[in-house]
């Protein structure tokens, strides 16, 4: 990646020249004069130009944004989590769904009236018995009276035949249109009901379509295996990752000169970026899995590589839908959900497969306890230890922390009274 910014400058003796400031991805600055990298007697004049400093600042800022953008592709993956569909919204769609009906066209030709027929016959008689010598009024009257009923009945018969023909055509069109409307209605209704109630075939089809799109947003290959339980509304998913995920290891540091210095990230910075990338993936995938159907109330996700695992997490639809993904920081939120993870010193340690499966079973037991007892909450071990330090009478919490550490769990189940205590601590 190379950033360029050109500008023109003048010299007294040699007129106008074009300079271009070039910044490489390694933070190396160079300048061309009139398209050449070779030394030029005009270098000093170019650097004296006020446009030189502007060019330096522009390429520096652009490179800074580009490098931050490369980081964001990884570390802010959670911010691309889709908004969850609401059950009430889908139910409203179903309730508002109506079956269209074809509106028949009316037969527009008016029914013949006897007075009109009589008028037409009178006009015909005037032409037929025209004479400059006589009015022939008796012949005209006789013609009209003799032919009126016959002409009128013929016109009525023709009109009725046209009307029947029109109605026959409309009936054919109506039958075809209503059949199509019914087909569209039933298809739309089934789609909404499948989304609402989570039909297996529908969820599998949605998953197939989602799988083809997911990796467009993820900067590394992910293979997703999903097991769906329609009755309980639970998805158990496993995301398999490559053995090596290459996180950007360089950072740009702004200098007072307007330039930037490109340096290697510190180990703790790289570890934090890796953790945010791996944890952010869980939110992004869970959002898409929840949106397979509003029947999905729980998503349990394992993120693994080879025969080892990074972590397991369980998201509840209600709490997940309340998150603000535009400002979500995975490392701060992840531990408020039932999880299995070995997170130490800003890095996620791999867990052996056998140990991982047993710890997931224990974590699910904790989750089930919470779902059946509204007086319990989940705290991270660090949150529980904060409370223990400042509050007396926390023997139950101390025991919970002791058991959690013994079981290598990062969360404890505690009485919900500690929630207010934690809020007060966070506000101080």
Say if CB 43 and CB 81 are below 8 A apart: no
Q: Give residue-wise pLDDT tens across range 351-390.
A: 998 889 888 888 888 778 777 788 888 787 888 888 898 8
Domain of 346 in residue numbering reads as 219-351
- The total of structural domains in the chain comes to 4
Per-residue confidence (pLDDT) for residue 131, from 0 to 100: 67
Q: Give residue-wise pLDDT tens across range 123-162.
A: 888 877 776 566 777 787 888 888 888 888 988 999 999 9
* 44, 124: one domain: no
Answer yes or no: is 209 within a domain. no
Secondary structure (DSSP) of 5-41: EEEEEEETTTEEEEEEEEEETTS-EEEEETTB-S--T
Answer yes or no: is 86 within a domain. no
Residue 226 has pLDDT above 90, yes or no: yes
* 178, 248: one domain: no
Least Cα distance to 280 among 331, 327, 241 occurs for 331
Average pLDDT over residues 408-421: 81
CA dist 190 and 426 (Å) reads 48
Answer yes or no: is 213 within a domain. no
Say if CB 370 and CB 378 are below 8 A apart: yes
* 139, 180: one domain: yes
3-class state of residue 347 by DSSP: strand
Answer yes or no: is 58 within a domain. yes
Say if CB 261 and CB 26 are below 8 A apart: no
* 224, 135: one domain: no
Q: How far apart are the first and last CA of the chain?
A: 46
Q: Give residue-wise pLDDT tens across range 95-127.
A: 999 999 999 999 999 998 988 888 888 888 887
* 153, 118: one domain: yes
The secondary structure element, H or E, covering residue 341 is: strand 339-344
* 256, 340: one domain: yes
Answer yes or no: is 177 within a domain. yes
Q: Give residue-wise pLDDT tens across range 252-267.
A: 999 999 999 999 999 9
Say if CB 330 and CB 279 are below 8 A apart: yes
**Domain final residue, candidates 194, 211, 229:** 194
CA dist 245 and 232 (Å) reads 34
3-class state of residue 266 by DSSP: coil
Answer yes or no: is 44 within a domain. yes
DSSP class of residue 156 equals H
* 223, 287: one domain: yes
CA dist 9 and 19 (Å) reads 7
CA dihedral (330, 333, 336, 339) in degrees, to 10, reads 0
* 181, 146: one domain: yes
Q: For residue 296, which phi and psi values (nearest 5 degrees)?
A: -75, 110
Answer yes or no: is 134 within a domain. yes
* 111, 171: one domain: yes
* 227, 325: one domain: yes
Answer yes or no: is 228 within a domain. yes
* 21, 63: one domain: yes
* 71, 99: one domain: no
């Amino acid at each position: 990646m190379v950033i360029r910014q050109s500008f023109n400058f003048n010299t007294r003796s040699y007129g106008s020249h074009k300079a271009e400031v070039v910044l490489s991805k390694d933070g190396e600055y160079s300048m061309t004069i009139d398209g050449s990298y070779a030394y030029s007697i005009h270098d000093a004049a170019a650097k004296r130009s006020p446009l030189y400093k502007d060019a330096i600042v522009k390429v520096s800022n652009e490179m800074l944004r580009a490098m931050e953008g490369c980081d964001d592709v990884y570390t802010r993956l959670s911010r691309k989590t889709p908004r969850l569909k609401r059950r009430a919204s889908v139910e409203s769609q179903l309730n508002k769904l109506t079956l269209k009906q074809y509106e028949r066209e009316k037969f527009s030709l008016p029914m013949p009236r006897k007075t009109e027929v009589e008028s037409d016959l009178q006009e015909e008689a005037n032409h037929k018995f025209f004479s400059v010598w006589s009015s022939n009024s008796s012949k005209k009257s006789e013609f009209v009276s003799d032919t009126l009923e016959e002409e009128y009945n013929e016109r009525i018969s023709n009109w009725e035949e046209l009307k029947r023909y029109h109605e026959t055509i409309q009936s054919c069109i109506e039958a075809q249109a209503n059949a199509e409307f019914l087909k569209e209605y039933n298809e739309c209704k089934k789609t909404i009901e499948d989304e609402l109630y989570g039909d297996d075939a529908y969820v599998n089809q949605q998953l197939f379509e989602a799988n083809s799109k997911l990796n467009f947003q993820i900067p590394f290959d992910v293979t997703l295996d999903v097991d769906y339980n329609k009755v309980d509304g639970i998805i158990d998913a496993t995301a398999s990752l490559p053995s090596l995920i290459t996180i950007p290891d360089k950072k740009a540091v702004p200098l007072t000169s307007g330039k930037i210095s490109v340096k290697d990230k510190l180990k703790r910075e790289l570890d934090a970026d890796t953790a945010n990338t791996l944890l952010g993936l869980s939110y992004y995938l869970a959002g898409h899995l929840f949106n397979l159907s509003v029947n999905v109330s729980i998503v349990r996700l394992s993120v693994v590589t080879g025969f080892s695992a990074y972590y397991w997490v369980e998201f509840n639809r209600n709490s997940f839908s309340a998150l603000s993904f535009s400002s979500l920081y995975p490392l701060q939120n992840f531990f408020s959900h039932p999880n299995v993870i070995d997170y130490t010193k800003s890095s996620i340690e791999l867990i052996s497969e056998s140990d991982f499966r047993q710890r997931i079973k224990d974590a699910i037991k904790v989750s089930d306890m919470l779902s059946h007892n509204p007086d319990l909450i989940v705290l991270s071990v660090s949150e529980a230890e904060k409370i223990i330090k400042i509050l007396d009478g926390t023997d139950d919490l101390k025991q919970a922390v002791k058991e959690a550490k013994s079981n290598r769990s990062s969360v404890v189940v505690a009485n919900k009274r500690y929630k207010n205590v934690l809020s007060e601590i966070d506000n101080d």
